[in-house]
Amino acid sequence: MISDSNKQHNHINNNKDNIGRKIVLTSRNIQHVFDLELIDKAGITMAQWKVINTLTTQNGITQREIADYVGLDTSSLIPLIDRLEAKALVERRQDASDRRINRVYLTKKAEALLDSMHSCIVSLKKIVTKGISEDQLEITQQVLERINENLLNHYGVYASKDNNIVIGSRIAESSSSSRKKTYSPRK
C-alpha cells in the first residue's frame, strides 16, 4: 500500500501536471525560437540582443552595469561584448574619469539592426499568442504575476531603487554563503 507521503511525492514528480515545469519548458522554447529568429533575421544571438537592447535605453553604461542588467557575471559578459565589438555592433571606450572602467556604446551598424530585432519580437508574439484570446492572455499574465509575487514574498526578494531585483532570501541568508545576487528586469 502506498502511503500518503508517497502519493504526494508521486504527484509532485508527475511532470505532465507540474506547472513549474511547464513554465520552464515554455520559457526555454520561447527563448530558443527567439534566438533562432534573431540569428536568421538580424545575425545576432539572444544573448547579444540582451546587451544591445540594454544599450538602446542606457547607451554608454559600464560593462559591470550591463552584466547586472542582463543577469550575467562580468566574466561571461566580456566575451559576449568581444563578439559584438568584432561585429562592429558596439564599441568600448575608457571612462574619462577612471581608465580602469570601460563604457559600452552602440554603433550605427547596431542601430540599423533595431528594426529587424523588433520585427523578430512582433513575429514571435504573433506565433506565441495564436489562438489565445485577450481574456486568456490577461488571466495568464495575472496568474504568472501572482506566482512571481508569491515567490518574491516568500523568499524575501525586493526591488531596489534602480528597479533591479535583489535576492536576499531567508534561505540564502541562513546558508554559509549569504551573498546577495542582483538581477535586472528583462527587456
Contact by Cβ (8 Å): 178, 172: yes
**What is the structure's pLDDT at 186?**
42
DSSP label at residue 17: G
Q: How far is CA 132 from CA 23, 84, 129, 146, in A?
A: 17, 36, 5, 20
Percent of the chain with pLDDT over 70: 74
State the average pLDDT for the chain. Answer: 83
**What is the structure's pLDDT at 83?**
97
Q: Is the pLDDT of residue 37 over 90?
A: yes
> How far is it, in rounded angstroms, from Cα 14 to Cα 33?
26
pTM for the full predicted model: 0.73
Helix (H) or strand (E) holding 94: strand 90-94
Helix (H) or strand (E) holding 169: none
Q: What is the pLDDT of residues 101-146, one digit of tens each?
A: 999 999 999 999 999 999 999 999 999 999 999 999 999 999 998 9
Residue owning grid cell 504526494: 8
Domains of the chain, earliest start first: 4-130 (1.10.10.10), 133-187 (no CATH)
| Measured torsion, CA atoms of residues 111, 117, 118, 123, in degrees rounded to the nearest 10 | 160
C-alpha grid cell, residue 86: 568584432
Return the amino acid letter for 130.
K
Contact by Cβ (8 Å): 41, 116: yes
**What is the structure's pLDDT at 10?**
57
The arithmetic mean of pLDDT across residues 3-11, rounded, is: 58
> How far is it, in rounded angstroms, from Cα 184 to Cα 187?
9
Contact by Cβ (8 Å): 179, 172: yes
